[in-house]
Amino acid sequence: MAKRKTIRTIPRERAEVGEQDPQVRVQNFYEVTLRFTPEQAELEASRCIECPRPACTPGCPVGVDIKGFIAKIAANDLRGAYDVITQTNLLPAVCGRVCPQENQCEGACVVGNQLAPVAIGRLERFVGDTAIAQGWSNVPYIEPNGFKVGIVGSGPAGMACAADMAKAGCDVTVFEAFHLPGGVLRYGIPDFRLPNSVVDAEIRNLEKLGVKFVCNTLVGRLFTIEQMIEEMGFHAVFVGTGAGYPSFMGIPGDSLNGVLSANELLTRCNMMQAKDEGFDTPLPIGAKVAVIGAGNTAMDAMRVCKRLGAEEVHCIYRRSRNEAPARIEEVHHAEQEGIAFHWLTAPVAILDDGKGGVRGMRCIKMELGEPDASGRRKPVTVKGSEYEFACDLVVVAIGTNANPIIGQTSKIALDKRGYIATDADLATSLAGVYAGGDIVTGAATVIKAMGAGRTAARSMKKYLGLRDTETVYADPTPPEAALFGFDPAEHNFVRVKAV
């Protein structure tokens, strides 16, 4: 056995990865961060010190065996690496791109205590992209169990839940209201961060597992959740409809024609392909754009506007850079691309140009006061610091409220903010109906939604009485203290085989 690696024996610097030059990339929608080459990936994999008790895996919402897959990359066994990841995460090409790794796996990485942490996200993406390029997919050999499962919403929560239920042998149908599946992965995240071709590839993988996608289907209105259980023969249903319903600021000028939600901008650009020649959906483009908010959605909106030809793009955020909810990499990329950041600034009013459009905004300076309920220092206004600011398009990216459709059309219990109420197992008030993702928690991240989809799948299997018969990649230590032989911690129900 090779000598154990230590912090002193590994490469000190991260393997370099290519990036499109900021001057070039603001003119296109191609991906900003390039993929590792096999050599770069192997070098970066060698930086993992293979901790006996890794901190990275518990830092991952779906518990990917990170040390395991990195060891396979280091051994130049990419297929093996893919098999390890897909035990727990069916969508490595997506998660490698969009997870906030600095707060999860990479944030927990021990190497990061002294050096830059292992670039786990980039390695995961490398494996996911390789699998897509090679046409790998992992399909279970399992007898159909006769259970029919309905999934409402084809975003990350629904996709993750669908994968687990299909692997358990259920007949899974995913319903999507839009004409294309993928949810936020398709309408929300732009191509330069997550190309739609990657979303398509991941959906094809789910179809290989037997999952059926049915688009143009607004559950609640075309048929209700109750009808799915009572009339349509679904034995269990998962609701992963996302948050929806964007918030506006409630300030004067909110409804002017030059004001729109980031959701609307991104949907027109990404899903409806308004940016591309030959597509009919119109897209509002401003010369001077102000984007309000500093989350990932705000960063996406700014960078989209820049690529659509806006001369100036400004970010207005009431706290400082340290509190910005976006991934560090997104803020960094936005800065590189020439976005002007106005930290500690809040809009007071949007100004009318007299023709229903926008001529500017009135803003006020903020300073940070005492920490609030979220633990972040609360921004308070600085008296007399109001100023006017010229712009012709305002994009609002300050979060979302609960989408009301499922609540309007079903007896399902909601919490006081209008989100679906669940217990720790993600069971709702309706028997056999589970829910997870943004429609339960409010806006969060792709990987958290996927984690919720998997938690719900575990609960649904329990509800349906499905038990694992075989375990993937035989764990040398059999589960202890399993209640009636059922181990709630086990996260895979079938053996997977290569095709």
Partner 1 sequence: MSSLLDSRGFEIVARQDFSDVTYLLEVRHPLMAKAARAGQFVIVMLDDHGERIPLTIADFDRERGTITLVIQAVGKTTREMQDVCRVGTFLHALAGPMGEPSHIGGQHRVVCVGGGLGVAPIFPQARAYKEAGAHVTAVVGFRTKDLVFWEDKFRACCDEVIVCTDDGSVGIKGNVTEGLRQAIAAHPDVDEVVAIGPPIMMKACAETTRPHKIKTVVSLNPIMVDGTGMCGGCRVKIGDGIKFACVDGPDFDAHQVDFDDLMVRLKRFAATEKAALAKYEESCRMGREPAA
Helices (H), 380-445: 405-409, 438-441
For residue 408, the minimal CB distance to partner 1 (Å) is 7
Which residues in 328-387 contact partner 1 (CB under 8 A)?
Answer: 356
* 136-144, 278-286, 294-302, 328-336 -> range binding partner 1 (CB under 8 A): 278-286
Instruction: State the Cα–Cα distance between residues 280 and 272, nearest whole angstrom.
Output: 8
C-beta separation of 286 from 276 below 8 A: no
For the record, the structure tokens of 343 come out as 């930290």
Residue from 77, 226, 254, 312 touching partner 1 (CB under 8 A): that is 254
Q: Which is nearer to partner 1, 246 or 436 (CB)?
A: 246
C-beta separation of 126 from 21 below 8 A: no
For residue 186, the minimal CB distance to partner 1 (Å) is 12
Q: Is 234 in the site for partner 1 (CB under 8 A)?
A: no
Instruction: State the Cα–Cα distance between residues 194 and 94, nearest whole angstrom.
Output: 7
Q: What angle do CA 285, 288, 290 make, to 5 degrees?
A: 95
C-beta separation of 181 from 292 below 8 A: no
C-beta separation of 69 from 76 below 8 A: no
Q: Which is nearer to partner 1, 209 or 256 (CB)?
A: 256
Instruction: State the Cα–Cα distance between residues 330 and 69, nearest whole angstrom.
Output: 26
Residue from 86, 130, 297, 403 touching partner 1 (CB under 8 A): that is 403
* 66-74, 256-264, 322-330, 456-464 -> range binding partner 1 (CB under 8 A): 256-264
Phi, psi of 288, rounded to the nearest 5 degrees: -125, 110
**Which H helix or E strand runs over 329?**
helix 328-336
Which residues in 163-192 contact partner 1 (CB under 8 A)?
Answer: 177-179, 187
For residue 204, the minimal CB distance to partner 1 (Å) is 15
C-beta separation of 181 from 154 below 8 A: yes
Residue from 135, 282, 375, 476 touching partner 1 (CB under 8 A): that is 282
Phi, psi of 368, rounded to the nearest 5 degrees: -90, 130
Instruction: State the Cα–Cα distance between residues 365 and 346, nearest whole angstrom.
Output: 6
* 21-29, 379-387, 401-409, 456-464 -> range binding partner 1 (CB under 8 A): 401-409
Residue from 6, 113, 255, 374 touching partner 1 (CB under 8 A): that is 255
Reference 166, options 195, 136, 144, 197; nearest CA is 144
For residue 194, the minimal CB distance to partner 1 (Å) is 18
Q: Which is nearer to partner 1, 254 or 329 (CB)?
A: 254
Q: Which is nearer to partner 1, 11 or 404 (CB)?
A: 404
For the record, the structure tokens of 20 come out as 């499109």
Q: Which residues contact 298 (CB under 8 A, 6 or more apart)?
A: 262, 291, 292, 315, 317, 326, 395, 397
For residue 154, the minimal CB distance to partner 1 (Å) is 13
Polymer length in residues for the chain? 499
Which residues in 205-224 contact partner 1 (CB under 8 A)?
Answer: 212, 214-218, 221-223
* 48-56, 101-109, 398-406, 480-488 -> range binding partner 1 (CB under 8 A): 398-406
Q: Which is nearer to partner 1, 62 or 305 (CB)?
A: 305
Q: Which is nearer to partner 1, 32 or 398 (CB)?
A: 398
* 56-64, 271-279, 387-395, 411-419 -> range binding partner 1 (CB under 8 A): 271-279
Count of residues engaged in binding partner 1, rule: CB under 8 A:
41
Q: Is 309 in the site for partner 1 (CB under 8 A)?
A: no
For the record, the structure tokens of 170 come out as 């259920």
| CA pseudo-torsion sign 288, 293, 294, 298 | negative
Residue from 17, 71, 245, 442 touching partner 1 (CB under 8 A): that is 245
Q: Is 264 in the site for partner 1 (CB under 8 A)?
A: yes
Which residues in 404-463 contact partner 1 (CB under 8 A)?
Answer: 404-405, 408
Q: Is 280 in the site for partner 1 (CB under 8 A)?
A: yes
Q: Which is nearer to partner 1, 152 or 472 (CB)?
A: 152
For residue 221, the minimal CB distance to partner 1 (Å) is 5
Cα-based torsion angle of the residue sequence 284, 290, 292, 297 in order, rounded to the nearest 10 degrees: 50
Q: Which is nearer to partner 1, 207 or 490 (CB)?
A: 207
Q: Which residues contact 226 (CB under 8 A, 6 or more apart)?
A: 410, 411, 430
52, 62, 104, 433, 461 from 490: Cα distances, Å: 20, 12, 21, 22, 12
Instruction: State the Cα–Cα distance between residues 299 and 292, nearest whole angstrom.
Output: 10
Instruction: State the Cα–Cα distance between residues 44 and 118, nearest whole angstrom.
Output: 7
* 275-283, 288-296, 384-392, 477-485 -> range binding partner 1 (CB under 8 A): 275-283
* 2-10, 75-83, 96-104, 265-273 -> range binding partner 1 (CB under 8 A): 265-273
Residues that bind partner 1 in the complex, under the rule CB under 8 A: 177-179, 187, 212, 214-218, 221-223, 242, 244-246, 248, 250, 254-255, 257, 260-261, 263-264, 267-268, 272-273, 278-282, 284, 356, 403-405, 408
